[in-house]
Amino acid sequence: MTGDGDALSVAEVSRRLRRAVEAAGARLWVQGEVTGAKLAASGHLYFSLKDEREDALLECVMYRVAAMRFARAITDGARVEVRGSASFFVPRGRVQLIADAARPRGRGALLEALEALKQRLAAEGLFRAEKKRSLPTSPRIVGVVTSATGAAVHDIARVAARRGGARLLVARASVQGAAAPAEIVRALDLLERVAEVDVIIVGRGGGAVDDLAAFQDERVVRRIARAGVPIVSAVGHEVDVTLADLAADVRAATPSQAAELVVPERRGQRDEVARQRDALVRAMRGYLDECRLHADDNRRRLGDPQRRVHDAGQLVDELTARLSTRARELVAAHRRSALELGARLAERHPRAALAIERGAVDAATLRLSAELVARIAADRRAADALGARMLALPRRAVTDHRRAVASVVARLDALSPLAVLSRGYAVAIGADGKALVRAADAAPGDRVEVRLHEGRLLATVTAAETGSKISGGARR
């Protein structure tokens, strides 16, 4: 045991350790799985070698010249053999391997397990493109699953505020560590219980590959795949793609980019609404102008509905008169024919023949008389039937024509402006005799005629309302 005057400084102890480590360790080959590989701005490559069978970790550094040759072999999850010599880094007080060469030895156990899980989930269809859902254009509430103390939630809130604001509902969860997968799944369950949540951002603010293990966990991947609302994965690691990225509906490189994808740009929405409103106004004006032209053309083609009805009634009267005249002519002709037949019958009646030649009637005269009587009876029956038909024909023709005229009248009445007036509407007529279609066509003080279904009103304009602006007062 030494006294206080014999104590060594920390720097002296570190230098002695460095000399001891460098003296004991010659150049050797070390095998392990790469983790935490990071290329610095200086060109130096920093990484760690992890023992796959035992809990052991060795930090390594490969300087710029060697890194330019062997950096491609040093990737996270790769199994490599690294040649170098041990050293003690005094400023940080740690042992590290200064590597000058590396050669690949296949995939590491972690990477192989991750690839096997990826293939199994892909075979189940969790990553299919047709399952991806589009993001809502105007979400009511944006759910966020991330750490409460990380930078991700602040980045999302800042971007949301810049883009016009959005309602954020944060479900806190650890994003790394053994408990992180269960907390992420629980946070997703909580957010989906809120009916107003239309989209959820899941992620963290970047980190090493080992820090992303929670987003490679099967429980998290399956929960994201069966989510009821669109999920945006924002792990914040641009180089590597996690299984959560593959299962989510949309992948964002950073939480800030996720917020830009989810939160709509209010100014752009307002401009788009204004453009669509102007386009709708132009379209409606064009449609109204087209309808007005069509109505004017129909009005010119239709003419006065009352005159059309009167003309049709006059035609019915004319046809009725012609049918009546023809019916009387046919009845008179049949009557004349019946009188002629009666006269001929009277001349040949058996009584007349008996008066002229009493006792000279023989069998032949009797037969002739019977034939004449039968013929006369048949002629009378035919004349009666023909008379009945001639009397029924004018009535049926008049009925058919009346039915046709009634149909035409009904169609004309449906097209008539008077039918519209009968439903409670009115037509305002200006001083020039034309119908008023816009409030701007009349000015305060103008005399107008308001035509109703029955009668008309004479009024004076006291106010003209155009859009939402009213000029003048109101007087009834």
Mean confidence (pLDDT) of the chain: 81
pTM over 0.75: no
Q: What are the CA-CA distances from residue 340 to residues 118, 224, 344, 385 (Å)? A: 116, 110, 6, 18
Rounded (5°) CA angle 232-238-242: 60
Q: In which band, very low, low, confident or very high, does the pLDDT at 306 lie, cut at 50, 70 and 90?
A: confident
Fold for domain 7-108?
A: OB fold (Dihydrolipoamide Acetyltransferase, E2P) (2.40.50)
Q: In which band, very low, low, confident or very high, does the pLDDT at 324 lie, cut at 50, 70 and 90?
A: confident
Sheet holding 456-460, edge to edge: 427-429, 447-451, 456-460
What number is the average pLDDT over the span 114-124? 86
Q: In which band, very low, low, confident or very high, does the pLDDT at 356 lie, cut at 50, 70 and 90?
A: low
What number is the average pLDDT over the span 69-84? 86
Give pLDDT tens digits for 134-188: 998 888 899 999 988 888 888 888 888 888 778 899 999 988 888 989 999 999 9
Q: How far apart are CA 410 and CA 395, in angstroms?
A: 22
Residue type for position 359:
G
Q: How far apart are CA 80 and CA 60, in angstroms?
A: 12
What number is the average pLDDT over the span 105-111? 65
Q: Is the pLDDT of residue 469 over 50?
A: no
- Beta strands 463-466 and 469-472: pairing type? antiparallel
Residue closest to 209 by CA, chosen among 379, 343, 356, 33: 33
Give the number of other Cβ atoms within 10 Å of residue 168's Cβ: 18
Q: In which band, very low, low, confident or very high, does the pLDDT at 27 lie, cut at 50, 70 and 90?
A: confident
Q: How far apart are CA 115 and CA 235, in angstroms?
A: 19
CATH of domain 138-264: 3.40.50.10550
Q: Is the pLDDT of residue 4 over 60?
A: no
What number is the average pLDDT over the span 428-456? 83
- Beta strands 197-203 and 231-234: pairing type? parallel
Q: How far apart are CA 97 and CA 49, in angstroms?
A: 10
- Which tokens sit at 224? 């994201």
The dihedrals phi and psi of 146, each to the nearest 5 degrees, come to -165, 180
Q: Provide the residue count of the chain.
A: 476
How much is the pLDDT for 474? 39
Q: Is the pLDDT of residue 473 over 50?
A: no
Q: In which band, very low, low, confident or very high, does the pLDDT at 208 lie, cut at 50, 70 and 90?
A: low
Q: Is the pLDDT of residue 334 over 80?
A: yes
HEC-encoded secondary structure of the chain: CCCHHHCCCHHHHHHHHHHHHHHHCCCEEEEEEEEEEEECCCCCEEEEEECCCCCCEEEEEECHHHHHHHHHHCCCCEEEEEEEEEEEECCCCEEEEEEEEEEEEEECHHHHHHHHHHHHHHHCCCCCHHHCCCCCCCCCEEEEEECCCCHHHHHHHHHHHHCCCCCEEEEECCCCCCCHHHHHHHHHHHHHCCCCEEEEEEECCCCCCHHHHHHHCHHHHHHHHCCCCCEEEECCCCCCCCHHHHHCCEECCCHHHHHHHHCCCHHHHHHHHHHHHHHHHHHHHHHHHHHHHHHHHHHHHHCCHHHHHHHHHHHHHHHHHHHHHHHHHHHHHHHHHHHHHHHHHHHCCHHHHHHHCCCCCCHHHHHHHHHHHHHHHHHHHHHHHHHHHHHHHHHHHHHHHHHHHHHHHHHHHHHCHHHHHHCCCCEEECCCCCECCCHHHCCCCCEEEEECCCCEEEEECCEEEECCEEEECCCC
Q: Is the pLDDT of residue 189 over 90?
A: yes
Q: How far apart are CA 351 and CA 27, in angstroms?
A: 166
Q: Is the CA virtual torsion 139, 145, 149, 155 positive or negative?
A: negative
What number is the average pLDDT over the span 194-204? 92
Interhelix angle 218-225/180-192, nearest 10 degrees:
20
The dihedrals phi and psi of 309, each to the nearest 5 degrees, come to -65, -45
